[in-house]
Structures are given as C-alpha cells and as structure tokens.
Amino acid sequence: MVGLASPAEAATSVTATYTKTQDWGTGFGANWTIKNTGTTTISSWNLEWDYPSGTKVTSAWDATVTNSGDHWTAKNVGWNGTLAPGASVSFGYNGTGSGAPSGCKINGASCDGTQQPGDNPPSAPGTPAASNVTDTSVRLSWGAATDDKGVKNYDVLRDGTKVTTTTALNYTDQGLTPGTDYSYTVVARDTADQTGPSAGPVAVRTTGGGGGQPVPNAVKLGYFTNWGVYGRNYHVKNIVTSGSASKITHINYAFGNVQGGKCTIGDAYADYDKAYTADQSVDGVADTWDQPLRGNFNQLRKLKKAYPNIKVLWSFGGWTWSGGFGQAVQNPAAFAQSCYDLVEDPRWADVFDGIDLDWEYPNACGLTCDTSGAASFKNMMQAMRAKFGA
C-alpha cells in the first residue's frame, strides 16, 4: 500500500511582496503590495518585518508604520483594510540605510503564504442582533463562527474600534451616550490568532437624548468619491466599518459631470451598475443580475436605511469636471432643469436629498478658465433654488 498525502493548504490567505522603487545613495523608496489570495474577504492586515541595524523607515503613506527597535510593523489605514478575494493594495515609504527586509509576516503568517499548512482563518460569525437598548447600553448576540482548528474568541467593534474580546456569543456594551447612533461588527479569532471576515454591521441608536432625535447643531459632512471603488478599494460599506456612519450627518457623492449645459452621470458603472457580493454589501445581501439598481447608489440606499439620519447630496463638478459650467450658466433655468431631472430620476430619487455644485472656479481658473461674468454664479444658484425648492 502507498499512502498519498494531500497537498498542503496555506492557512494564510494573504501575501506581501516588497519592492525597492528608488535608491539615491543616502536613502531609498520602497513599497509593499498586500494581496488576498484566499476565497474570503479580509477586513484588516498587519505586516511585520525586520531591518538590520542602521536601516529604518523615515516616512510612510497609505499605512500606519511603527517600530520596536529593528522590528517594523505596518497596519492598514481606514480605507484600505478590506480586501476581497484576488484584490490587492500597496503602501509606500522612504527610508535610510542599505539593508533589506527579512522575517516577513502578514497577519501572523509567512508573507509567501506557505506558513501553517492546513490552518484556515475562521468564518464570519452570525450577524449580531441588538436587544435591551437603553440610554447608555445595548446587548449584542451573534451566532458562532466555525474554524478547522477551533474558535478561540470574538472581537466586538463599535464604530470600527474594538471594545472587547470575549469567548461568549453575547456582550453588553455600556457607557454609551443617550440618543446616539452606533455601529457594531464582530470578528472571530482562531487558536492561531487569525481573524476572519466580519459579521454585521448592525446599527443601534440608544434611547433618550431629546426624544431620540439628533440635535441639529452641526453639519458633519464627508465626500464619497465614486472613483474610490477602484484603486483605493473603498466602498459604501467602509463608511460603516470605519465608524464614520454613526458620526456624519451628510455625504457629498462625488462626482457628477457637467457637459453640454447639463448635469450628467459621472461614472455609470460605479454609480449604478457595479454588482456587489454579500460580503461587500452594507446589509450583507448580494446584488442580482436583474435588479433595477446596483452600484454605489443601491449601497447608499441601504446605508440610509440603516442610518436614516444621514442625508446624501449629489455633487457635480470638481476640479476635473468644472469646465462645463460656463456653457451651463448661459441658460441657468435649463441647467437647473437638467440637474433636477437627473437627481430625481425614479431609479434613484430616494437616494438623494439634495444637490451640491462644486464649480472650480467661477470667473477664475482651475483646470480650465471661466469668463462667464460676475453674475453667473448668482444666476445659477437662483435657478437651482427656484427648481429644487426651499
């Protein structure tokens, strides 16, 4: 009898590759590329390596880089931690010295994906459910995750920040603020300390705080760029997992274009056609091929369902697409009508609560120059107000 061993399966589903991009004698530039080579989405990455004495990182971008002596650690920033299967992201830095990195580990395993054969990361736990919500606390419970070597514990994250690690399938979070929105996710950790994909998010609003309504004393607005879903791999779900969704009041969705005197779609694929898988979606439900609306617009719709206090405005123009404003303001009423028709298109009218006009710059130069006259901006805004109402 001959026994045939099955091929070893690498536990880690992530690899890291180092490249020196520049060398100017007294210093160098370098980058690392992190790639998800597995079959499940990862929610964060942690890279470690050693430099010989005298070689060090002096400045870095797109990662948080720290060191303890000659041991260096790089962790993802808010927008580039989530990687779908096959996706990759890079970060870079400048350094001094002539040494090369050694002892590379990514998420605790070898950077080439060969360490810990047969040990896979755990699955996502069940989506957490909230109960017993009070002014200052909430009880969370979730279904167990699975793992080939066993689940050790669970991390509970509030607005993207870990609040506890527990072996139980429930946790009561306390010390919260009355009348405040929070977002919770849960990740499992196995006996090798590997974390799997996150479960959630679940939105919770504590009771109290003036009848449960937020105090309208400030606008907290952020831009969400449609082009961010490509190279930066930042999606609407990241607004939740980063903790931003519970803090902001308004989103400017950027950008729509201004062409031929009209408001037009900026990126049809990203805006309303891109299909999202369950793990990429705000509510954990995958898009289907025949649904009437997909892409960022559908994800924003789901975000607003979970966070009804958030208002979304469609932003037109920007540095690249302001060149069309000059023609548009030759007929402000027609321009306002075109913008209204697009924003209020029945396919996505419920997604948008208003319009933002980012003209760079009236009667001045940005990427292009404008000479439409001193009254052009005022006339445009009056026409918009007349069409969109108070």
pLDDT tens readout for residues 236-267: 999 998 889 988 999 999 999 999 999 999 99
Averaged pLDDT of the chain: 88
From the list 9, 48, 344, 360, the catalytic residue is: 360
Question: Which of 121-125, 307-311, 353-357 has the weakest average pLDDT?
Answer: 121-125
Q: Is the pLDDT of residue 295 over 70?
A: yes
Q: CA 150 to CA 189: how far, in whole Å?
A: 9
Distance CA 386, CA 390 (A): 8
pLDDT for res 246: 86
d(CA 115, CA 122): 16
208 — pLDDT class (breaks 50, 70, 90):
confident
Alpha-carbon gap, residue 237 to 295, rounded angstroms:
12
Catalytic residue check, 344:
no
Q: Is a pLDDT exceeding 70 seen at residue 327?
A: yes
Distance CA 74, CA 13 (A): 18
pLDDT at 5 over 80: no
Domains with residue ranges and CATH for the chain: 14-110 (2.60.40.290), 129-205 (2.60.40.10), 221-388 (3.20.20.80)
